[in-house]
Amino acid sequence: MTYRPGRDDWFRRLRQQEAGKPQKPLGGKAYGSIPHLPGSKFGNRRDRGVPAGEDLLYLERPHPGDRIVVMEKVDGSCCAILNQSGEILPLVRNGRPAAGSVWRQHRMFARWVRARADTFAACLDDGDRVVGEWLTQAHGTRYDLAGREPFVVFDYFRGDRRLPALEAEARVQAHGLAFVPVLAAGPEGLPVADALLLLGEHGHYGALDPAEGVVYRRETPDGRVYLAKYVRPEAEPGRYLPGDDDPDKAVWNWPPGGP
């Protein structure tokens, strides 16, 4: 695989954070990876596709009683906010506290969450967490965040259980938080071509570059949720990430000092 200075150096430094850092409050990652649908562009060698034939459950023939929800795939840094025994904890994707990250954008996230701790305490019951994209620094897509929140929720966990997407959307929006744009929701499958038509070229959250793609959720009658994503083949994941340790070379959607 071709070496890409920006993205590959980014993941190298994320791995370096693992040694000698505080324990993970959740005991593991704050969020896992989402498998790709056929034709989706892989971002790195750890990406994987959905099992053979499973794509049809999202695109064509869901099981009876399933709900298929299609959402815009926003492109930033995956972060989480956890309510643990009344303490509001900002986390990066690997499950470690954002305040101790080597990356400026994650330390910005920690400060942003602390300034809104009362809001998250009202939204999150004990043991709940929201997961979303922190969009301050451009990864593969630049955003115009004027009038928009820099953190966009796309998942809500009650312990290990995901809330249904529309319930999660209503809960976070009731507390003034942003939820990722929902493109479609219903009992029928939605082909990728139709999902991309609903997405449009720039999506619905201020993308200045073409939107990266879509995420599918298959929500079953017994409360389980399965995920798959489609990244456009022309997308360039991580193309704006700096290729060295100089944070001043980063591309900011929402600058370190605030907009």
Same domain, 82 and 168: yes
pLDDT digits (tens, 9 = 90+) for 175-206: 999 999 999 999 999 999 999 999 999 999 99
Same domain, 85 and 175: yes
pLDDT digits (tens, 9 = 90+) for 53-97: 999 999 999 999 999 999 999 999 999 999 999 999 999 999 999
| 188 within domain boundaries | yes
SS3 labels along the chain: CCCCHHHHHHHHHHHHCCCCCCCCCCCCCCCCCCCECCCCCCCCCCCCECCCCCHHHHHCCCCCCCEEEEEEECCCEEEEEEEECCEEEEEECCCCEHHHCCCHHHHHHHHHHHHCHHHHHHHCCCCEEEEEEECCECCCCCECCCCCCCEEEEEEEECCEECCHHHHHHHHHHCCCEECCEEEEECCCCCHHHHHHHHCCCCCCCECCCCCEEEEEEECCCCCEEEEEEECCCCCCCCCCCCCCCHHHCCECCCCCCC
Distance, CA of 54 to CA of 186 (rounded, Å): 18
Instruction: State residue 256's pLDDT score.
Output: 80
| 18 within domain boundaries | no
Name the residue range of residue 79's domain: 75-179
Q: Please provide the size of the chain in residues.
A: 259
Same domain, 169 and 220: no
pLDDT band at 1 (very low <50, low <70, confident <90, very high): very low
- Total domains in the chain come to 2
Same domain, 42 and 135: no
pTM of the model: 0.89
Same domain, 141 and 216: no
Distance, CA of 133 to CA of 156 (rounded, Å): 13
Cα atoms in the 13 Å half-sphere on the side-chain side of 107: 8
Q: Dig out the tokens for 224 from the structure.
A: 């389980």
**Measuring CA to CA, how many Å separate 140 from each of 19, 67, 135, 177, 237?**
27, 30, 11, 24, 5
| Residue 5 confidence (pLDDT) above 60 | no
Q: What is the CATH number of the domain that holds 104?
A: 3.30.470.30
| 14 within domain boundaries | no
